[in-house]
Structure 1
Amino acid sequence: MAGQIVVGVDGSAPASAAVEWAADDASRRGCSLRLVHVCEEWSPSLGEAQWPLSLDEAQAKHCAEALEAAADRARELAPGLEVTTDLRKGNVVERLIAESATADSTVLGSRGLGGFAGMVLGSVGMAVAGHAAGPVVVVRGPAEAQHGRIVVGYDGSQGARVAMDYAIEQARARQARVDVVYAWQAPMSAPYATAFSSFLESAFEQQKETAREAVAPWREKNPDIEFTDEEVCEHPVPALMTASASADLVVVGSRGMGGFASAVLGSVSHGVLHHVTCPIAVVRPRGARADAR
């Protein structure tokens, strides 16, 4: 579905990588690109003033230059791509969540200028991934190689179904295959229960068959896409970390079967955001996407 891809820009290296990824994605999928730089106002910690002070000219100039440099880079990478820019004041998380309501997807660097150097994912990325209305793609750095693989975590939940839709869309645009990862965690076994291992083996075989049956309709409806599936007996996060080693993109739903209804991000999407190093798409059901299957 062609639309507008929104990218959060702040002049950091991860944000620059996000611009590059988004320009490529927009070009492949026939979308336009909207680059948004939010300059946050600040308040004094002491004194009687209670309202945020206006941005000074130096800060405004820096923000405008960072935004223009990002736009130049996007146009350089994808000549002919429609690129628009927007420089705003306010709260960056609130602005990007608002932008996501009408965006095809929202793309962010893993960590902006305000983050600690040791952090894998910044607070902005986590907050936007947890609350945005549609797909959020988090990019760590420039792509080093193309593998022709889109990895998607699948557990049959509504979130996983819209994640599969997005993975197929990406695979079709990239002429890549979709690798479906289904991870099943075995219940804890008692040390004395040797016979329990036989039961677990049988249960896992049943889970594998169920997973393959669940993927079958996707194969039938998308004959132009090559699918592979992998069923593993381990926690989904390490399973997806292993699969991501040679993936162009890892796609997960915002919450799977095991999440609490009130959680904005499930443990799997949260873990993947912190540990997978290739670009990650967290997809939340909304509108037509939520009702797709």
Structure 2
Amino acid sequence: MSYQNAPEGDGPLIVVGGPGEGLSGMSVARERGRPPADPVVVDGGGGAAARTPFLSRRWVRITGGLVLPVILLVVWQVASTSGAFTSAQLPSPAMVWEAAVDLAQRGLLGLYIAISTQRVLIGFACGAALGLLLGAVVGLSRLADILFSSTLAAVRAVPSLAWVPLLILWFKIGEESKIILIAIGAFFPVYTTVAAALRHVDRHLVEAGRAFGLHGVRLFFTVQLPSVLPSVISGLRLALAQAWLFLVAAELIASSMGLGFLLSDSQNNGRTDRLFLAIILLALLGKLTDSLLGLFERWSTRRWT
């Protein structure tokens, strides 16, 4: 926006801006006999200019997120009662609900959920912490990158089920083998994303941190880690999903309790209603834990960025 001195005798300077113009589009004009255009108003108090977009409103997001599950539930109900499938192939939603009530009354449903959730959280915490540590070392050190990257890339390609016999041989059928397998699943997404992100941190930002006397661990937690925070959160969310996948792999083969055991036991006994129940519970728990991680993402973004 530029200003010009008005010659002597001319009218006052008027700031003119159309309703579609921003602050940068304002012009200073000298007008006689014509009212100025409507000024641009920047509403910082929650008016029309500060309204939340319709699709970003919370109730719209919640309602929209429920549309597809409701449609799937209706289709499931229609398909299960149309006669196209037997109850052994596709139980109705009511049958699955009755199976859940039966297990809850026997005290097994809550126990299975608690055991599986505990295994996932412990394994995820261990694997994510180790992935963050080793990813930071590899991402910040060229020597560590040369020493570890190739070997860890090869180990990452090993399927989850390939670890089960070895872990059972070493740790027997106990909690240790399951938690270690889950930790393996959670380790690689965090390690990969953190190492890759730290390799591309802006060098000028790092030099600015060093100019302020930050070095080593303080530099990492103050400058480098906040700059790659979105990548770290993405890695954590992938790691959490992997943890649930590896949980099922562990409990399907070597477990007497948990949702993975419920899957295998229901298959062996022909209880399709319990099979569907286990799948639905795994989906709900996975979504719940991911939502909690989403809350942590919003908090950390406000805190460090």
TM-score, normalised relative to structure 1: 0.21
Q: Which has the larger radius of gyration?
A: 2
Higher relative contact order (CA 8 A, sep 6+): 1
Which structure features the higher share of strand residues?
Answer: 1
For normalisation by structure 2, the TM-score amounts to 0.20
Name the structure where helix makes up a greater proportion of residues. 2
